[in-house]
Amino acid sequence: MPERGDSAAYDRWLADLERRHLAELTFPEVSRALRALSATYVERRQKIAEGAALAGAGKRAAFAMFYGPLHFLLVAHIAGELPGAAGEHSTLVDLGCGTGAAGAAWALACARARGGRAPRIVGVDRHPWAVSEAAQTYRTLGLSAAVHRGDAATAALPSTRCAILAAFTVNELDERARAALLGRLLGRGSRGDRILIVEPIAGSIARWWDRWRAAFESAGGRSDQWRFRPELPAIVAKLDRAAGLDHREITGRSLWLAPRATAASRAAVLSASS
Ligand SMILES: C[S@@+](CC[C@H](N)C(=O)[O-])C[C@H]1O[C@@H](n2cnc3c(N)ncnc32)[C@H](O)[C@@H]1O
């Protein structure tokens, strides 16, 4: 199944999530926590900045078992559809990596496109629980990775070319950090890095989006909206129903910036097609 990459590793990851997070909590406890978590994302943006989203074992379990796989499926889909996204990246930096799901999905999409070799992932998150959960995700999925506690807006980036991801993270930054990050990302994009930003489709909670979109487009990038019906993992579908949510269709939007084809490679493409 192309959206999922290595299907044995994907199944192993999901089984590991269930085993670990349902060891101490019952299913009804996790589904109650999921309701609270989704309300936090929709209604209480300020609380997220204060760390409410990942406060408590129930919300962490819900985040890892529910939003992690959903973000994995969305980023796998985007990486499979955006021309050039699943390319030759040696390092992939995941800013605000959370449980590692989004970066892992992109890395596995690259591996699939390149016949097995995934980029090395560098995960960065400010939350200590996320950092250890991401390390577990990368391990279970067989990906080579380093994870650091740090700030997404100011974290050191590799000196060599890399792919940079920020999935469901930019919206959690304050205005100043967000503006600083935009400047950094555009600078890195102009030096040849590939940049992928992924966020939910929700205009009211992302007024900054239009500014970022205009900046990416004027730098030669593109913006897209996504809507598709994946095969949801059984635990995700069960939690979805139990918490009164509906993610049978997954949606999202992305910004993508990659170096334009050079004059030489454009000429090669033209002569190959003539
Ligand atoms: C909604 S989660 C998304 C996680 C992951 N990217 C995904 O798609 O599943 C947002 C993550 O960003 C992290 N985060 C928020 N602000 C941050 C900052 N300033 N620096 C580093 N991480 C940050 C949070 O701790 C959380 O793990």
Mean pLDDT of 13-34: 96
Quick one: pLDDT band at residue 196, thresholds 50, 70, 90?
Answer: very high
- Residue 172 DSSP class: G
- With a CB cutoff of 8 Å and minimum separation 6, the contacts of 122 are 91, 92, 93, 94, 145, 146, 147, 148, 158, 162
- Dist. CA 96 → ligand 1 center (Å): 3
pLDDT at 263: 40
For residues 140 and 49, the model is more confident at: 140
CB count within 10 Å of CB 29 equals 15
Minimum-distance ligand 1 atom for the alpha carbon of 130: 27
2-273: CATH class: alpha beta
Phi/psi for 186 (5° steps) reads: -65, -40
pLDDT at 115: 82
| 158-175 confidence digits (pLDDT tens) | 999 999 999 999 999 999
- With a CB cutoff of 8 Å and minimum separation 6, the contacts of 2 are 76, 80, 112
Six-digit token string for 190: 């102009």
Q: Which residues line ligand 1 (CB under 6 A)?
A: 67-68, 71, 96-99, 101-102, 124-127, 130, 151-153, 167-169, 172-173, 177
Atom 23 of ligand 1, nearest CA residue: 96
CA nearest to 105, candidates 155, 130, 69, 129 = 69
- Dist. CA 31 → ligand 1 center (Å): 21
> Residue 236 burial by CB count (10 A; 0-12/13-18/19+): exposed, middle or buried?
buried
